[in-house]
Amino acid sequence: MRQRSLIAITAALAAGALTLTACGSRDSGDKGSDSGGTTVVIGVDAPLTGDLSALGLGIKNSVDLAAKTANKKNYVDGVKFEIKALDDQAQPSSGQQNASTLVADKDVLGVVGPLNSSVAESMQKVFDDAKLVQISPANTGPALTQGANWQTKKERQYKSYFRTATTDAIQGPFAAQYVFNDAKKKKVFVIDDKKTYGAGLASTFTAEFKKIGGQVVGTDHIDPDTKDFSAVATKVKNSGADVVYYGGEYPQAGPLSKQIKASGAKIPVVGGDGIYDPTFIKLAGANSAGDLATSVGAPVETLASAKQFVADYKAGGYKEEYAAYGGYSYDAAWAIIEGVKKAVEDNDGKLPDDARAKVTAAVQNVSFDGVTGKVSFDEFGDATNKQLTVYAVENGAWKAVKSGTFTG
């Protein structure tokens, strides 16, 4: 009897699993058939599950909105856009697999993503070999576009890689300037999570903070898998620091900020765009008031185009927030759409045979007014529009306190 019930349960589970699999693929199965023209797929790679899914789902939905808007306007004659979103779980290995998957799908003419710089590193070459354009809405590591020696000798890494976000080369120093000159904090404790993004940001911050006369009274690196930072918090308290800079993302930054304040050190935690998310405030609790984050772009409320985006996003009925990178993702997707449009128009209204290469070349030269301002790319693939904003936690929400424009 035991054997039997086991078999019954296993069979039921297997049947259920099979049904689920079948229905999972239903989505993509019935789409392409109902359009007469060509279908172009925009790939999306972002963490759609896990700690960073709030950001990743915002990216996916925003790209979806861009594709739908283009279809609605019939922006590229005879071309219908679809998205294909893959989950990289913020893991470089998954990112690379996804990159191969997207390259293998011949309808994919451009990819938006990823969120994490470390994931981008694993994807760049795969896309470049396939001449498939990739635009990241969120990568801020300078080395991705300008090479590992970007401080001394800038060198374009991959012709197919672009980004709409501003790099850490500006973000870290801008935070240092704000902390030192506006917040008047002179002694910093620097913590990072050892990942490409976090460590890079912490080092650009540290370099500038020292240059302008600040003092680094301690450093530590945390393990992003744990939630117990009490030992680090005690170190921070005893270091006499009056501010903490954290290079990393909100799933760790929130508890870290909370535990630092709990240790008795009532000092602000400062971070980059990786902590600029409402979840940070939720995790850090009531004592997070006064914590600071720099993020790329101008505050949404000062951009007319962004307001339009916010309204459309709401009207689109998406379940998740567009989060920190929504506008950048929309612009990244739109840059690909512009690239496809150019490629099609140059080829008498049809997709050329070497569409991927043509789209990549076209993206290099796009220029349009996007959600986040003027969108175009420089010789390294970086966004030419380099605005950034310092936000502070006030009454349980992020509030813009200072904005800057890089015009170098």
Partner 1 sequence: MNAIGPVEPGEGTAVPRPAGRRPGTGRDRRPTALRRRPLAAALTAALLLAAGVCLYATRPDVPSPAPPTPPAPSQLPFPAQVVDVTFVGPHAPPPGAAPQFFAFELLLSVDAGPEVTVTRVSQPYAGMSVATAPRTPFRTRAGAARTIVITLHVTECETVPENDGLPFLDVTLRNTRAIQEQSFILGPRYAHALSRALQVACSNDSG
Partner 2 sequence: MNELPQQLVNGLLLGSMYGLVAIGYTMVYGIVQLINFAHGEIFMIGGFGALTVYLYVLPDGTSMWVALPLMLVGAVIAAVLVAVGAERFAYRPLRTAPRLAPLITAIGLSLALQQAVWAWYPGAKESINFPEIAGGPFEIGSVTIQTGDVFLIVAAPISMAILAYFVMKTRTGRGMQATAQDPDTAKLMGINTDRIIVVAFALGAAFAAVGAVAYGLKYGQVQFRMGFILGLKAFTAAVLGGIGNIYGAMIGGLVLGLAETMATAYIADIPGFDQLGGQSWANVWAFVLLILVLLFRPQGLLGERVADRA
Which chain residues interact with partner 1 by CB under 8 A? Answer: 3-4, 8-9, 11-13, 15-17, 19-20, 23-24, 26-27, 61, 65, 68-69, 72, 170, 173-174, 176-177, 181-182, 207-208, 211-213, 298, 302-304, 307-308, 311-312, 315-319, 373, 387, 402-408
* Closest C-alpha among 43, 47, 219 to residue 118: 47
* Closest C-alpha among 297, 320, 286, 315 to residue 171: 297
* Closest C-alpha among 399, 407, 387 to residue 171: 387
Q: Which residue has the tokens 């239903």?
A: 26
Parallel/antiparallel/unpaired status of strands 292-296 and 269-271: parallel
How many residues form the binding site for partner 2 (CB under 8 A)? 40
Here the tokens at position 58 are: 């915002």
Q: Are 322 and 61 in contact (CB under 8 A)?
A: yes
Instruction: Name which of partner 2, partner 1, none residue 69 binds, using a CB cut-off of 5 to 8 Å depending on partner kind.
Output: partner 1
Provide CB contacts within 8 A for 351, sequence distance 6+. 38, 40, 79, 109, 340, 343, 344
Asked if 68 is part of the footprint of partner 2 (rule: CB under 8 A), the reply reads no
Instruction: Name which of partner 2, partner 1, none residue 207 binds, using a CB cut-off of 5 to 8 Å depending on partner kind.
Output: partner 1
C-alpha–C-alpha distance, residues 87 and 96, integer Å: 11
DSSP code at position 178: I
Report in angstroms how near the CB of residue 264 gets to partner 2 at its nearest. Answer: 5
C-alpha–C-alpha distance, residues 43 and 66, integer Å: 12
C-alpha–C-alpha distance, residues 108 and 105, integer Å: 6
Asked if 187 is part of the footprint of partner 2 (rule: CB under 8 A), the reply reads no
Instruction: Name which of partner 2, partner 1, none residue 397 binds, using a CB cut-off of 5 to 8 Å depending on partner kind.
Output: none
Nearer to partner 1, 49 or 181 (CB): 181
Choose, by CB under 8 A, the member of 38, 101, 234, 305 that binds partner 2: 234
Asked if 130 is part of the footprint of partner 2 (rule: CB under 8 A), the reply reads no
Instruction: Name which of partner 2, partner 1, none residue 19 binds, using a CB cut-off of 5 to 8 Å depending on partner kind.
Output: partner 1
Report in angstroms how near the CB of residue 8 gets to partner 1 at its nearest. Answer: 5
Q: Is 53 helix (H, G, I), strand (E, B) or coil?
A: helix
Q: Is 276 helix (H, G, I), strand (E, B) or coil?
A: coil
Instruction: Name which of partner 2, partner 1, none residue 251 binds, using a CB cut-off of 5 to 8 Å depending on partner kind.
Output: partner 2
Asked if 210 is part of the footprint of partner 2 (rule: CB under 8 A), the reply reads no
Instruction: Name which of partner 1, partner 2, none residue 264 binds, using a CB cut-off of 5 to 8 Å depending on partner kind.
Output: partner 2
C-alpha–C-alpha distance, residues 157 and 147, integer Å: 6
The identity of residue 44, as a single letter, is V
Instruction: Name which of partner 1, partner 2, none residue 212 binds, using a CB cut-off of 5 to 8 Å depending on partner kind.
Output: partner 1
Report in angstroms how near the CB of residue 256 gets to partner 2 at its nearest. Answer: 10
Stretch 4-43 residues interacting with partner 2 (CB under 8 A): 6, 9
Report in angstroms how near the CB of residue 288 gets to partner 1 at its nearest. Answer: 24
Asked if 397 is part of the footprint of partner 2 (rule: CB under 8 A), the reply reads no
Instruction: Name which of partner 2, partner 1, none residue 350 binds, using a CB cut-off of 5 to 8 Å depending on partner kind.
Output: none
Nearer to partner 2, 194 or 314 (CB): 194
Nearer to partner 2, 262 or 400 (CB): 262
C-alpha–C-alpha distance, residues 193 and 118, integer Å: 12
Give the relative orientation of helices 326-345 and 355-364 as an angle to the nearest 10 degrees: 120
Here the tokens at position 61 are: 């939905």
* Closest C-alpha among 49, 40, 41, 66 to residue 327: 66
* Closest C-alpha among 169, 40, 69 to residue 371: 69
Instruction: Name which of partner 2, partner 1, none residue 223 binds, using a CB cut-off of 5 to 8 Å depending on partner kind.
Output: partner 2
State the binding string over 134-173 for partner 2 (x if CB under 8 A, else -). ----------------------------------------
Choose, by CB under 8 A, the member of 60, 163, 185, 235 that binds partner 2: 235
C-alpha–C-alpha distance, residues 334 and 340, integer Å: 10
Here the tokens at position 252 are: 């760790």
C-alpha–C-alpha distance, residues 271 and 284, integer Å: 13
Instruction: Name which of partner 1, partner 2, none residue 278 binds, using a CB cut-off of 5 to 8 Å depending on partner kind.
Output: none
Choose, by CB under 8 A, the member of 285, 290, 299, 352 that binds partner 2: 285
Residues near partner 2 (CB under 8 A)? 2-3, 6, 9, 49-51, 53-54, 193-194, 219-223, 225-232, 234-235, 237-238, 251, 254-255, 258-259, 262-264, 279, 282-283, 285
